[in-house]
Amino acid sequence: MAWYERLSAQDASFLVYEDHDAAAHMHVGGLSVYEPGALSSPTGGVDVERFRTFVASRLHQIPRYRQRLAAMPLSGDPIWIDDDHFNVRYHIRHTRLPRPGDERELKRLAGRILSQRLDRRRPLWELWIVEGLPDGRFALVTKTHHCMIDGVSGVDISTVLMQMTPDETSIEAPQPWQPRPAPSATALALDEIRERAKLPLDLAAATLPLLRDWRSTLASVRANVAGLAHVTGLAWQGAAQTPLNRPIGPHRRFDWMGVDLAEAMAIKNALGGTLNDVVLTVVTGGLRTFLRRRRVNVDILDFIATIPVNIRLPGDHEGGTKVAAWFAPLPLGERDAAARFARVHATTAALKQQAHADPTRHLFKLADVGGPAALRAVVVLEQGMNPSNLIVTNVPGPPFPLYVLGSRMVSANPLVTLLANQALGIAVFTYDGRMQFGFNADWDLVPDLHELVLDTERSFAELRHAAGLDAAARDVTAATAASAAS
């Protein structure tokens, strides 16, 4: 039976954005490192064929990974259809680091892999196995187009390939799969005509509940008008001009760092905030030092971060994008780490009280009705209204270790896309007692990316000191020594 599925306007917007900017790569993902475990081959490398077989056995749980893009014949709206030439070997690729493989070489390789766009003629994902790390470890570099997943649903998809214990090393036989035929151009055109004919009825059905509950509708309209006015004001002001806010190229650098999650929890408890406040404060401190080194006067800088916010309902595990955004000013001019944290916390607390945190998302509902021309207009409007200097996203992961065929994942470093005139994006992922920061940057505009990573590490240490954790650690060490001596 013929089958297809339309993309939502928000998911399709990532394709439009990529079309409008030759340097944009709208894939998300990251790099994770694994112990050798049961995936080791007799020659000391990774048993790649075994891994491919394992992935193939799980694909029935993520059907989008065997679907590719097509277009409606009249409007050009993008749709998903089954890929009748799907080959898992194309998507799971294999490479190795030059000897001796180290973390620096791994970062360089990851940057090269992440610099390449995904091929729209095939399902929009790649998974690279990287051998050659010390002690027989290997890495997985993942790329999935943003039109397929957001940060939260991406975690759900990744766990399809992950296991809870190291003794799960058997592979089930792949379930039989037969691609469903795509509808003919005539059938798709007739569907489009029917959809347009039903549009007045659909609008009426959507409007009636709003009219019945007119008080809530009026409050929502007022909130969103206020939110739109707020974002318009920020857009009119424009993003501050910094060395990080210039037209980007297609090439990427990728770097990372990690901190102890228990220490981050202790900081937020001591200073009275949230883990997200810790993340934003640490990033703010790192950027302050980094931009000062670039001779930027941070004391007068209005530096704004876009913070994606999950609007996915509990129990919703469908793919696609379901995020809104906050626009949060970062206090780069604040010298004191504790005061910096207090200002960040005040900002995020105020944003939580605003029902209109991201009014632009309602534009995509209109684009769902208006077709490709409306969608292009919304993307152009959203780009023009974007007042931020970078994206900072924080995605929670599992607090326990995960495995793939007995190989333990020891770290997971996330990737966020770069937008126009934003040469830096920072993503954070918590996993198994660690908080990993992934830094994605333009190759030419941020050649000193690793300096920013070191600045961010020092910013965390500074915040830890401001929270009194250094003194607490010294007290515990002294008490332990005294107990041992007695």
Q: What is the pLDDT of residues 37-70, one digit of tens each?
A: 888 888 778 999 999 999 999 999 999 999 999 9
Position 243 scores a pLDDT of 96
Position 281 scores a pLDDT of 98
CATH architecture of 5-160: 2-Layer Sandwich (3.30)
pLDDT tens for residues 444-480?
999 999 999 999 999 999 999 999 998 665 554 455 4
Cα dihedral 20/22/28/30 (nearest 10): -170
Rounded to the nearest integer, the mean pLDDT of the chain is: 86
pLDDT tens for residues 121-133?
999 999 999 999 9
* SS3 category, 82: strand
- Counting Cα atoms < 13 Å in the Cβ hemisphere of 310 gives 18
| Residues assigned a catalytic role | 146
Q: 19 to each of 151, 417, 472, how far by Cα in Å?
A: 22, 15, 53
Domain boundaries 232-397+413-478, corresponding CATH code: 3.30.559.30
How many angstroms from the chain centroid is the CA of residue 384?
22
For the chain, the domains span 5-160, 232-397+413-478
Q: Flag whether pLDDT at 321 surpasses 50.
A: no
Sign for the pseudo-dihedral over CA of 230, 235, 238, 239 = positive
User: Of 14-23, 198-207, 322-331, 352-361, which range is least confident?
Assistant: 352-361
Q: What's the pLDDT band for 9 if we cut at 50, 70, 90?
A: confident
Task: State which amino acid sits at residue 26.
Answer: M
- Which of 48, 18, 33 lies closest to 116 in space, CA to CA? 18
Mean pLDDT of 212-232: 56
More confident residue, 325 or 225: 325
CB 7 within 8 A of CB 147: yes
